[in-house]
Amino acid sequence: MLIEFTDKGLYCSAGNFYIDPWKPVDKAVITHAHSDHARWGHKAYLSHYLTVPLLQARLGPQQYQGIGWNEPVYMNGVKVSLHPAGHIIGSSQVRVEYQGEVWVVSGDYKTENDGISGAFEPVPCNTFITESTFGLPIYTWQPQPVIFEQVREWVQRNGKARQNSVFIAYSLGKAQRLLKALEPLQQPVYVHGAVWNMHQALVSAGIDLPPVQRITPETPKETFQSAIIIAPPSADGSPWMKKFTPYEVGVCSGWMQVRGNMRRRNADAAFALSDHADWPGLLSAVKATGAQQVYVTHGFQSAFSRYLNEQGIWSAEVKTEYGGEEETEENTVTEDNTTGGAA
């Protein structure tokens, strides 16, 4: 096995490095900056150069090395290269080649091009390790332009009713996509500190994003009149939201595809906008790699791998500690709240 599944994470013994390990290791190749994939405590980090500033913002000064897509590096004679995953800015698949055998670790990915994260590139390989966050056929997304239109219509409807529009979206990924969706409205967008931090990191790395205004304890309540606000999931329902009254809450998440989840979140509106591949996306990605064997990680791994087996593609599920971006994000946000207003 070129890549083994160990209790620290995915391990390539030939090259002596880990990919997205969940326990501290010497050498970690990181697919993307979400906190369940990029953890604290490794001696050296290798990732796409656009991921580096995000890691810096999250993990502080560490030993980082940034490389571009399709720029191979060699570790103990093992050829390692990164390829666009389309999940969030900087997100990459990791291609590992040794003695003629090729493995690809997908990290998180989506097959639809969102215009900011880079277009997902199918990488031919023998073995593909894929995520399966939305690995059931009930998850089939509507195209981005359709959802963006719904997003704008909702903001305009709220505006007419003199209500603020509060979007609940992950601070890294979803928030930036929303900015693009809202850009045509030419209205100021106010953001929570967690969203602000990610925005700053990306802008200083040279990414072109629409401007945002940071909400601080000093921001007067009168600022928010038919305004647009973006906040991370942890802010939903917290006293921080009081300032925006009257407001409607719109949750942006692939989980909103199912009505029950929408009700559970107490949202006034829900947009099934996801940074992960839907069912057709997962299937097309797997087929495009031409892999003979497919390992399935976090998500609906047992259903997806069973389906692949029935389609004649050898597959097995792998237990990892990925997933739960939401919970891990909440921790970082609580930290942000305690230091709130200082920056």
Partner 1 sequence: MKQFAALVSILGTSTKTNDKLEALSNYFSTANDADKVWVIALFSGRRPKRVVNASLLQQWCIELTQLPVWLFEESYHTVGDLAETIALLLPQTTGNDGNDAQPLHTYLTQLVKLEKETETVKKEYIVTCWMQMTKDERFVFNKLLTGGFRVGVSQKTIVNALAQAVQLPAAVIAHRISGNWDPSTTAFQSLLSEEHASLDSSKPYPFYLAYPLEANPQTLGEPAEWQAEWKWDGIRGQLIKRNNELFVWSRGEELMTDKFPEYNDLNTLLPDGTVLDGEIIPGIDGQPLPFALLQTRIGRKNVTRKQLQEAPINFFAYDLLEYNHEDWRPKSLTERRQQLEQVVNGAQHPALLLSTIVPFDTWEQLAATRRQARDHFAEGLMLKRKSSSYQVGRKVGDWWKWKIDPFTIDAVMIYAQKGHGRRSNLYTDYTFAVRDGDKLVSFTKAYSGLTDKEFNEVDAFVKRHAIEKFGPVRTVKPELVFEIAFEGIVASNRHKSGVALRFPRISRWRKDKKPDEINTLDDLKQMLRLYGTAGGEQT
Contact positions vs partner 1 (CB under 8 A): 136-140, 142, 255, 257-264, 266-268, 270, 300, 303, 306-307, 310
Residue 103 or 304 with smaller CB distance to partner 1 = 304
Choose among partner 1, Zn ion, none what residue 300 binds, the Cβ cut-off being 5 to 8 Å by kind: partner 1
Q: How far is CA 246 from CA 193, 242, 289, in A?
A: 21, 9, 49
307 interacts with, out of partner 1, Zn ion, none, CB within 5 to 8 A per kind: partner 1
Nearer to partner 1 among residue 46 and residue 283 (C-beta): 283
SS (H, E, C) the chain: CCCEEECCEEEECCCCEEECCCCCCCEEECCCCCCCCCCCCCCEEEEECCHHHHHHHHHCCCEEEEECECCCEEECCEEEEEEECCCCCCCEEEEEEECCEEEEECCCCCCCCCCCCCCCCCCCCCEEEEEECCCCCCCCCCCHHHHHHHHHHHHHHHHHCCCEEEEECCCCCHHHHHHHHHHHHCCCEEECHHHHHHHHHHHHCCCCCCCCEECCCCCCHHHCCCCEEEECHHHCCCHHHHHHCCEEEEEECHHHHCHHHHHHCCCCEEECCCCCCCHHHHHHHHHHHCCCEEEEEEECHHHHHHHHHHCCCEEEECCCCCCCHHHHHHHHHHHHHHCCCCC
Question: If contact means CB under 5 to 8 A according to the sort of partner, which of Zn ion, partner 1, none does residue 222 touch?
Answer: none
Tell me if 170 contacts Zn ion by CB under 5 A: no
* Binding partner of 322, given Zn ion, partner 1, none, CB within 5-8 angstroms per partner class: Zn ion
Taking CB under 5 A as the binding criterion, the range among 14-22, 137-145, 265-273, 321-329 that sits at the site for Zn ion is 321-329
- Residue closer to partner 1, measured from CB, 97 or 329: 329
- Asked if residue 279 binds Zn ion (CB under 5 A), the reply is no
> Would you say 1 or 146 has its CB closer to partner 1?
146
Residue with smaller CB distance to Zn ion, 241 or 277: 277
Listed residue (137, 194, 146, 149) closest to 170, CA to CA: 194
Residues that bind Zn ion (rule: CB under 5 A) add up to a total of: 3
Nearer to partner 1, 259 or 342 (CB): 259
Mask of contacts with Zn ion, 21-60, x by CB under 5 A?
-------------x--------------------------
Q: Is 276 in the site for Zn ion (CB under 5 A)?
A: no
The item of Zn ion, partner 1, none sharing an interface with residue 108, based on CB under 5 to 8 Å by kind, is: Zn ion
* Minimal distance, residue 69 CB to Zn ion, in Å: 17
Q: Under the criterion CB under 5 A, does residue 95 sit at the interface with Zn ion?
A: no
The item of Zn ion, partner 1, none sharing an interface with residue 196, based on CB under 5 to 8 Å by kind, is none
* Using rule CB under 5 A, residue 248 touches Zn ion: no
Under the binding rule (CB under 5 A), the answer on residue 329 touching Zn ion is no
Instruction: Give backbone dihedrals phi and psi of 170, rounded to 5 degrees, phi first.
Output: -60, 140
Residues that bind Zn ion (CB under 5 A): 34, 108, 322
